[in-house]
Amino acid sequence: MNVLILGGTGMLGPNVARELAPAHNLRITDVNPPEDDLPGEFLHLDVADLDGVVAAAEGMDAIVNLSVLRRDRRIAWDVSTRGCYNMMQAAVAHNIRRVINTGPHYTVAGPNVTECFDYDIGPDIPPQSGTNIYAITKSMGLEICRVFTQHHDINVQTYLFYNFKDPEAIQPGEHYAPFVISWENAAEVFTLGLDIELNALPSNCEVFYVFADMPHGKFTNEKTKRILGFQPRQDVEILWK
């Protein structure tokens, strides 16, 4: 499969590229240059550039959007909201039916979803990001994807993460977020997302929480395991053991 990766040279991107490279042809784009050993073709591209995104998507079978900008109030809209719109326009222009989008957990579960009180928080609650700039710009991106899937034969899977860890760098007793995953385990879900038959997904716009099995039960990754066949590694358990 020919796969376009948007925002591919950030923190998660190289892990995803190394995971996908053995089975797929990769076209990786970013505003920042890649590491020396990043597999695939690299294009310098800002996702806020509609024409550039459409051109980069030519000949692709799938788009994976890893672009992220958390705090800058100008660039966050460029990347997370306008970038999603441009990506979906590119998918329409080239008849690309498989799109994988990403974001943080509070794309749907903002401050009104209380991690203090609630358990089994799933990804299919009505999105309620709150006004945090990272959360709301990603949430608007998700809404754009949803609207496009209502009007076009495009399938968008959105993978939401909370916190990434390098297992070898974890210090005993260190603080950890309500859901955590190692970089390499996170990358594995993208192979599943590219492999799954689109008609095996419940709808053409699905959201998944991606994290390791954790004992406290605050959030649930059950849907990710059941539908995508995701297998959490046991490589971050030192956080609570």
Partner 1 sequence: MRILITSASHDRSAALAHHLAGGHEIRLTERTHVETEHEFVLSALGHDRSTNLLTRDIDAIVHSVEPQPGEDASAQLDAATRGTYNLLMAAAEEGVSQVILLSTLELMASYPPGFRVRETWRPLPDTQPPTLSIHLAEQISREFAREGSLGIKILRLGDVSNKTVADAVSEALAQPVPLAASCRSNESTAPHALSITHVGERPQ
Contacts with partner 1, residue ranges (CB under 8 A): 48, 50, 73-74, 77-78, 81-82, 85-86, 88-89, 92, 110-112, 128-131, 133, 136, 139-140, 143-144, 147-148, 150-152
CB 89, min distance to partner 1, A: 7
Burial profile 203-226: b = 16 or more Cβ within 10 angstroms, e = fewer: ebbbbbbbbbebeeebbbbebbee
Q: Pick between residue 17 and residue 144 the one whose CB is nearest to partner 1.
A: 144
CB of 10 to partner 1, least distance (A): 21
CA dihedral 77, 71, 156, 215 (to 10 degrees): -160
Instruction: Select 9 or 137, whichever has its Cβ closest to partner 1.
Output: 137
Nearer to partner 1, 87 or 228 (CB): 87
Quote the least distance from Cβ 161 to partner 1, whole Å. 21
Reduce the DSSP state of residue 190 to 3 states and report it: helix
Sign of CA dihedral 172, 175, 176, 178: positive
Distance CA 225, CA 122 (A): 13
Calpha distance 169→167 (Å, rounded): 5
In whole angstroms, give the CA distance from residue 215 to residue 89: 41
Cβ closest to partner 1, residue 15 vs residue 65 = 65
Comparing CB distances to partner 1, the nearer of 19 and 46 is 46
Instruction: For partner 1, give the closer residue by CB, 151 or 226.
Output: 151
Strands 180-182 and 2-6 turn out to be unpaired
Q: Which amino acid would we find at residue 127?
A: P
Shortest spacing between CB 197 and partner 1, in angstroms: 25
CB of 126 to partner 1, least distance (A): 10
Q: What is the separation of C-alpha 240 from the centre of its chain, rounded to a whole number of angstroms?
A: 26
Q: In angstroms, what is the minimal distance from the CB of 6 to partner 1?
A: 15
Q: How far apart are CA 214 and CA 2, in angstroms?
A: 34
Query: What CA–CA distance (Å, rounded) separates 72 from 112?
Result: 23
